[in-house]
Amino acid sequence: MGAPGSAVAGLDARAGRLQVPARRPGQAASRPTVEITHLRKTYGELVAVDDVSFSVTEGEIFGILGPNGAGKTTTVECAIGLRSPDSGTIRLLGLDPQADRDEVHEIVGAQLQASAFPPKLRVGEILDMYRSFYREPADVGELTEALGLSGKCHDYYKSLSGGQRQRLSVALALIGRPKIAVLDEMTTGLDPQARRDAWELIEGVRDRGVTIILVTHFMEEAERLCDRVALIDNGRVVALDTPARLAAQARGGKSVRFLPSASFDDRLLTALPEVTRVDREGQHVIVTGTGELASTVILALAAAGVTARDLQLDSSNLEDAFVRLTGRHTDKEGALT
């Protein structure tokens, strides 16, 4: 039976090899955890979300950034099934948040903006209640330990500090052991130390294999935490990239503002390769450009005998980055026409 046996084995091996591409575990893992395509949501006349598409892979910390009213919150509210989109599709691990609502709520933990609890409930009572909502909940002891709330279970909600309330809120988002956690403005209103603690916490959660969607308007937060960031403005994704690349783009458009000690010809600066434009605002001069802008401008002015007084370098915060990125967008379009 040796020969036929080996023939069968060979066949098996071939069959096995043929099946490999279809069974490769990497393929299942590469399916996006969150996939949103052409999401649109309006409230009457108001277009909250115009056209938003992005996908998030497993274990990623994905940031959604944008100014107030950009449509960030509506986007995540649609994603977790709190609102039904007008059009577009949303899939969370292949589930539709509207059609598979119950199951989506089992696998998604959400920490929403402005959610508080009755002052006279104890921390442990709130945790026990939320714990009972889920099929396979986390251990309260472990969770409170990880969130620095372990000594607080007997405290009333009203006695918690802002940071502790925020951590409790995050604990409740994680108590169902979700595969996806949505955290909306979780560090707003926290002091810098509490904010840094919250960041460490989020990284710890991700290390446990949870995919995280982080809604924020802090550039620093996104830079520190997010693997990728979607910038949303007027209900549209205007940029989607790693924070490093987005920041580089934003820095690419920095500006310097100063009061010249003497008058000079704009061409002195526009001739410099780093300078893209020169504007005047009363006595002040605003130079926009790239690279080592400030030192180049100061040197060029010094060479012409002009001192730059009252020098201000704009900080590359989110709003600026945002203005630049949207501006760049139209510039590109302008260049095309």
Q: Could you say whether residue 275 binds another protein (CB under 8 A)? A: no
Query: C-beta of 160: minimal distance to another protein in Å?
Result: 14
Which residues have CB under 8 Å from 175's CB, separation 6+?
Answer: 109, 127, 130, 131, 134, 137, 138, 140, 143
Radius of gyration for the alpha carbons in the chain, expressed in angstroms and rounded: 26
Nearer to another protein, 109 or 235 (CB): 109
Q: Could you say whether residue 143 binds another protein (CB under 8 A)? A: no
Tell me the window of 7-15, 102-110, 202-210, 292-300 that interacts with another protein (CB under 8 A): 102-110
Nearer to another protein, 65 or 182 (CB): 182
Measured between alpha carbons, how far is 205 from 167 in angstroms, rounded to an integer? 12
Q: Could you say whether residue 28 binds another protein (CB under 8 A)? A: no
Q: Could you say whether residue 126 binds another protein (CB under 8 A)? A: yes
Q: Determine which residue in the list 65, 80, 138, 297 makes contact with another protein, applying CB under 8 A.
A: 80
Q: Which of 297, 218, 219 is nearest to 255 (CA)?
A: 297
Query: C-beta of 96: minimal distance to another protein in Å?
Result: 9
Measured between alpha carbons, how far is 241 from 218 in angstroms, rounded to an integer? 16
Q: Determine which residue in the list 60, 106, 197, 221 makes contact with another protein, applying CB under 8 A.
A: 106
Q: At what angle do helices 192-207 and 162-174 cross, to 10 degrees?
A: 10
Measured between alpha carbons, how far is 160 from 156 in angstroms, rounded to an integer? 7
CB-hemisphere CA count at 13 Å for 183? 35
The encoded tokens of residue 53 equal 């598409």
Q: Determine which residue in the list 24, 30, 133, 313 makes contact with another protein, applying CB under 8 A.
A: 133
Q: Determine which residue in the list 39, 49, 52, 112 makes contact with another protein, applying CB under 8 A.
A: 112
Nearer to another protein, 111 or 288 (CB): 111
Measured between alpha carbons, how far is 49 from 77 in angstroms, rounded to an integer? 11
| Chain-centre distance for alpha carbon 247 | 13
Nearer to another protein, 76 or 321 (CB): 76
Question: How many of the chain's residues bind another protein (CB under 8 A)?
Answer: 32
Whether 49 contacts 74, CB under 8 Å: yes
Measured between alpha carbons, how far is 40 from 74 in angstroms, rounded to an integer? 10
Whether 308 contacts 265, CB under 8 Å: no
Measured between alpha carbons, how far is 68 from 44 in angstroms, rounded to an integer? 19
Nearer to another protein, 105 or 324 (CB): 105
Q: Could you say whether residue 95 binds another protein (CB under 8 A)? A: yes
Print the binding letters for residues 169-198 with another protein: x by CB under 8 A, - otherwise. ---x---x----------------------
The encoded tokens of residue 119 equal 């002052």
Nearer to another protein, 157 or 258 (CB): 157
Q: Could you say whether residue 130 binds another protein (CB under 8 A)? A: yes
- For residue 335, with 0-12 CB atoms within 10 Å meaning exposed, 13-18 middle and 19 or more buried, which class applies? exposed
Q: Determine which residue in the list 58, 128, 274, 320 makes contact with another protein, applying CB under 8 A.
A: 128
Measured between alpha carbons, how far is 291 from 227 in angstroms, rounded to an integer? 25
Tell me the window of 45-53, 121-129, 145-153, 257-265 that interacts with another protein (CB under 8 A): 121-129
- The DSSP secondary-structure symbol of 115 reads -
Q: Could you say whether residue 120 binds another protein (CB under 8 A)? A: yes
Measured between alpha carbons, how far is 125 from 253 in angstroms, rounded to an integer? 51
Nearer to another protein, 35 or 233 (CB): 35
Q: Could you say whether residue 100 binds another protein (CB under 8 A)? A: yes
Nearer to another protein, 113 or 290 (CB): 113
Residues that bind another protein (CB under 8 A): 80-82, 95, 100, 102-103, 105-106, 108-110, 112-118, 120-121, 125-126, 128-130, 132-135, 172, 176
